[in-house]
Amino acid sequence: MDSSYWRIERWRLFLVLFLALLGGLVSGHWAISMAIALAGYIGWLLFKLRELVAWLEQGASPLQVPDSNGIWERISFYIQALQKKSEKRKKAMSRLLKRSQGIVGALPYAAVLLNKSNEIEWANQAAQHSLNISNKRDRGQRLENLLRLPEVYTLLNENARREIELVYPPGSGYHLAIQIIPIKKGPRLLIARDVSEHVRLQQMRRNFIANASHELRTPLTVVSGYLEMMQQDESLPEHLHQPVDAALNQAHHMQQIIEDLLILSRLESANPNLDDMEVIDMPALLHKQCLDTAKHLSASSHTIDSDIDPALHTKGIPAEITSVCNNLVSNAIRHTPPGTHIRITWQKNPEGNACLSVIDNGEGIAAEHIPLLSERFYRIDKGRSRETGGTGLGLAIVQHIMQRHAGRLFIESTVGKGSRFSACFPVAIVDVNDSDPE
Q: Please report, for the chain, the start and end positions of each structural domain, with discontinuous segments joined by +.
A: 2-90, 107-194, 198-269, 274-432
Q: Looking at residues 126-143, what average pLDDT do you find?
A: 86
- Whole-angstrom distance, CA of residue 34 vs CA of residue 31: 5
pLDDT at 227 over 80: yes
Position 299, amino acid? A
Q: Does domain 274-432 correspond to CATH entry 3.30.450.370?
A: no
Q: What is the rounded average pLDDT for all residues in the chain?
A: 81
Cα dist from 288 to 284, 292, 325, 326, whole Å: 6, 6, 12, 12
pLDDT of residue 421: 92
Look at residue 164 and give its three-state secondary structure.
strand
Look at residue 393 and give its three-state secondary structure.
coil
Q: Please provide residue 66's backbone torsions phi and psi, each rounded to the nearest 5 degrees.
A: -55, 135
Q: Looking at residues 127-146, what average pLDDT do you find?
A: 86
Comparing CA positions, the residue from 92, 151, 131, 139 lying closest to residue 113 is: 139
Q: In the structure, what pLDDT confidence band is assigned to residue 109 with cuts at 50, 70 and 90?
A: confident
Torsion sign across C-alpha atoms 194, 196, 197, 198: positive
pLDDT of residue 435: 43
The fold for domain 198-269 equals Helix Hairpins (1.10.287)
pLDDT at 157 over 50: yes
pLDDT of residue 74: 74
Cα 372 from chain centre: 19
Q: In the structure, what pLDDT confidence band is assigned to residue 346 with cuts at 50, 70 and 90?
A: very high
Q: Looking at residues 340-352, what average pLDDT do you find?
A: 88
Most confidently modeled range among 39-48, 170-179, 337-346? 337-346
Q: In the structure, what pLDDT confidence band is assigned to residue 357 with cuts at 50, 70 and 90?
A: very high
pLDDT of residue 437: 40
Q: In the structure, what pLDDT confidence band is assigned to residue 390 with cuts at 50, 70 and 90?
A: low
pLDDT at 356 over 50: yes
- Which CATH code, of 3.40.1170.10, 1.10.3720.10, 3.30.450.20, 3.40.50.12780, is assigned to 107-194? 3.30.450.20
Domains 107-194 and 198-269 share a fold: no
DSSP secondary structure letters along 269-280: H----GGGPEEE
pLDDT at 274 over 80: no
Q: How many CB atoms lie within 10 A of CB 210?
A: 17
N-to-C CA span, the chain: 99
pLDDT of residue 423: 92
Look at residue 253 and give its three-state secondary structure.
helix
pLDDT at 160 over 70: no
